[in-house]
Amino acid sequence: MKSLTKYFIWFIFAILLTGNVFIFLNSIKLSDEINHFEKETKNLHQENLNIENKIYEVDSLQYAASMASELDFTQKAEPVYLENLKYAKSQ
């Protein structure tokens, strides 16, 4: 009976030890993952802002003006409706 109890205690001890090691290793792994995802989220947010800003830039009047001048659209875009009312009236 005594030896059975002894084995049982050893068995419990082994399980607790294994469990502890398992939890410890898992917590380290989880910490690593948390750390990794924290950095990833931050990077994604920054990248998202950068891309958003690029879209804003391409969509801006300043960019349109620079493109228009590059493509020589400036003169053609001048409205003529008020000097030649037939254009306005025919709309």
Partner 1 sequence: MIKPRLLFIILLIFYLLIIVKLFQLQVLNPASTHTTYLKTNRIPPERGKIYDRNSQPLAVNRPSFLLYIEPKKIEDASEFVKKIDAILQLGEASLASKIDKTKNWVAVQSGLDKDKKQRLLEFKLKGLGFEDRFQRYYPESSLAAHLLGFVGKDVQGEDVGYFGVEGYFNKDLTGLPGIIKSDRDLLGRPILIGTQQKLDPENGRDLYLTIDESVQETVKKKLQTGIERYKAKEGCILVTNPQTLEMLALTCLPDFDLDRYYLFSEEFFRNPAISNLYEPGSTFKPFIMAAALDNKSVQPDDFYDEKGPVEIGGYTIKTWNNKYEGQISMTGIIEKSSNVGMVYVGERLGYKNIYSYLKKYGFGQATGIDLQGEADGYLKEEFAWYPIDFATVSFGQGIAVTPIQMVRAFASLINGGKLLKPFVVQKISSGNEEKSIDSKIERKTISAKTSEMIKKMLHSAVENGEVRWAKPKGYQIAGKTGTAQIPIEGHYDPTKTVASFVGFAPVSDPKFLALVILREPQTSPWGSETAAPLFFEVAKELLVYYNIAPE
Q: Write out the residues near partner 1 by the rule CB under 8 A.
A: 27-28, 30-32, 34-35, 42, 45-46, 49-50, 52-53, 56-57, 59-62, 79, 81-83, 85, 88-89
Displacement of CA 21 from its chain's centroid (Å): 35
What's the closest the beta carbon of residue 52 comes to partner 1, in angstroms? 7
| CB nearer partner 1, residue 7 or residue 44 | 44
Q: Which two structure tokens, joined as six digits, stand for 83?
A: 């000097």
How far apart, in whole angstroms, are the C-alpha atoms of residue 29 and residue 25?
Answer: 6
| CB nearer partner 1, residue 8 or residue 24 | 24
For the chain, the first-to-last Cα distance in angstroms comes to 106
What's the closest the beta carbon of residue 14 comes to partner 1, in angstroms? 22
CB 39 within 8 A of CB 45: no
